[in-house]
Every structure is written in C-alpha cells, then in structure tokens.
Amino acid sequence: MNRPFLFLIACVFGCCLFSCSADFNQQWKQAVATKPAADITGPWLGYWHSDANGHQGELRSIVTVLDEKTGACRFQYHATFMKFLSGGYAVTHLVQRTKDGFTFSGDQPLTGLGGGLYHYEGKATPLEFHATYRSEGDHGVFEMKRP
C-alpha cells in the first residue's frame, strides 16, 4: 500500500475514535457536574489493570439504571491504553443491594483485538468501586472512586 492511502486510513480510524471519545466526554462532564447519588449510579474514575499481561490505564465509567425492578444498570466504560489510545464500550450488569453496599455481575461479548466473552463481577459502595473481569485471553481488575 502507498503512504497516502495508509495515512487516510489512519485519519479515518482516528476520527472514529475521537467521535466516540467526544460523545463520552460530553456525557462525562454532565455526570461529574451533578451531585453523586447515594447508590452506584453516576460517574466513576480510576484505573484498570490486566493481571494476564500487565497492561493498564485510566478508566472512567458512568452508571445509569436501565430497569429498577431487575436491577439492570448500564455501565459505560471508557479506558486508555498506552497513555494515548482510548476506547469505550457499554455493559449491562445486574446490580443487587447488600448490607455493605452493592454487588454486580454480567457478561458481554466484545469485538476487536481483545474480543471474546467477558464476565464481570464486582462490589461497590457509593464511594468505592472494585470489579474483576475475565475472558479466555485476559483477566484483571477495575478500581475506581468518585471523581
């Protein structure tokens, strides 16, 4: 392939990533501007770490309720990788209230380089968030607090 064509592909890919990030960043600013809830909804900030390969990065999440009866919540994650790459995805977790806070779990098929079925389990209070993730090729942790 010639260089102009590769440059064009890189620009299109970069614009797609920026567009997804720009949308999340707008939602993030709105979420941070509101008072944190007494549950786990709203914004979270911290890091992710792969126990399988040592990769890590910043992690932000916005949690919203999808169905109060079932406890289904949307966890919209946005993570950095190698300090300059970023991407996001959304997962539905079932959240249950416990005497110590909240527990949640869920499965999500992800596409791309790190694709496959991911299983998540975690616990949170209104101020601290800890979760583990596991797939066939990776496993690790998410650690976050309120921004």
pLDDT digits (tens, 9 = 90+) for 37-93: 899 999 999 999 999 999 999 999 999 999 999 999 999 999 998 888 999 989 999
**Prediction pTM value:** 0.82
Cβ neighbors of 87 (< 8 A, separation 6 or more) are 17, 20, 21, 78, 79, 81
Residue 21: pLDDT band by 50, 70, 90 thresholds? confident
Amino acid letter, residue 84: F
Residue 3: pLDDT band by 50, 70, 90 thresholds? very low
Q: How far separated are the first and last CA of the chain, in Å rounded?
A: 45
Confidence at residue 113, expressed as pLDDT on a 0 to 100 scale: 63
Distance CA 79, CA 142 (A): 10
**Is 141:54 a contact under the CB 8 Å cutoff?**
no
Confidence at residue 10, expressed as pLDDT on a 0 to 100 scale: 37
**Is 57:82 a contact under the CB 8 Å cutoff?**
yes
